Amino acid sequence: MTIKELETQLLALTPTEQAEAIEILTKIINNDSSRITKTTGVCGGDACIENTRIPVWLLVSLRSQGSTDAELLTFYPQLRAVDLVNVWAYAKAYPEEIETAIREENEAMESGI
């Protein structure tokens, strides 16, 4: 298969399937570890970068507010570029989960919790 053929096939996938394909490629590159985890009792069980307390929803929120990947890597030096690839793939695969987490955080901030 050529890269052009692969590109055509990838473009034919749904957004969720594309996110899953990115996740698969990232896992292959990272020795099968996406570094996105959910741990009961850590950040409310939200999806986070492994071994950090950096939730996926936070990075998605910052990006939607205009932060670039380069800025995020500067803000969070423990992250690698591939972590952001995993975050964006996860967010694309689970948009409702991320939107709910952002909404709940905004509501908590507004109510002063």
Residue 6 lies in a domain: no
Which residues are CB-neighbours of 1 under 8 A, at least 6 positions away? Answer: none
**Overall pTM surpassing 0.75 (yes/no):** no
The two structure tokens encoding residue 101: 């987490």
pLDDT digits (tens, 9 = 90+) for 29-60: 655 456 899 999 999 999 999 999 999 999 99
Q: Is residue 56 assigned to a domain?
A: yes
CATH classification of the domain holding 31: 1.10.10.10
Residue 4 belongs to a domain? no
- Cα 9 to chain centroid distance, Å, stands at 23
36 exposed, middle or buried (CB, 10 Å; 0-12, 13-18, 19+)? buried
Domain membership of residue 33 (yes or no) is yes
- Domain with 95 in it: 15-111
Residue 9 lies in a domain: no
**Cβ-based neighbours of 80, under 8 Å, separated by 6 or more:** 73
Three-class SS state of 3 = helix
Taking phi over 0 as left and psi of -120 to 50 as alpha, with beta for the rest, 25 belongs to: alpha
Give yes or no for a contact between 47 and 55, defined as CB atoms under 8 angstroms apart.
yes
| Residue 98 maps to a domain | yes
- Whether residue 39 lies inside any domain: the answer is yes
For residue 22, the Cα-to-chain-centroid distance in whole angstroms is 11
Mean per-residue pLDDT, 67-96: 92
Overall domain count for the chain? 1
pLDDT band of 99, cuts 50, 70, 90:
very high
- Is 1 among the domain residues? no
